[in-house]
Structure 1
């Protein structure tokens, strides 16, 4: 897990995490405090974590991210990272989408 901190301060804005899906895919996830939405912090942090993953996690040739299909801001974030829709499914009673990338932006 990586903590996102506002440059030059100790103010936490959110976090990014790398985990594994039930199928074993390396999965990127993030959460940011609402007061830090829409200013690019999530994109900057996720891009850095993706780059780190491809450089430091052995045998990483793909990273995925999953969000609810209704979560358009998250979908825009994943697309801005160069991720492409790879799957759609229902989980937790709601439609989900999986995005994937095989290289950092």
Structure 2
């Protein structure tokens, strides 16, 4: 992530805690999502930090948790969280279909 913003107007801001409220406004939401993803080291940390943020933490948590799930994979999701996924089979099927489409 840091390499992608190197030399851009965002380079100095990417590490700083967002100076905006954790609201549902998409710009604010993604600033907080990015901050959380860059300042945690595992799936559980992402979810907990987002949930405890306050404000529109459900939206921020959903986006950050989804991206963390992609990054860490199922094996990176603690069992209590992974076992709570109700549509895991459908997600596996969709992921497989997307992979086939992407690599075809």
TM-score category (smaller protein) = 0.3 to 0.5
Decide which structure has greater strand share.
1
* TM-score, structure 1 normalization: 0.34
Decide which structure has greater helix share.
2
Larger Rg: 2
* TM-score, structure 2 normalization: 0.35
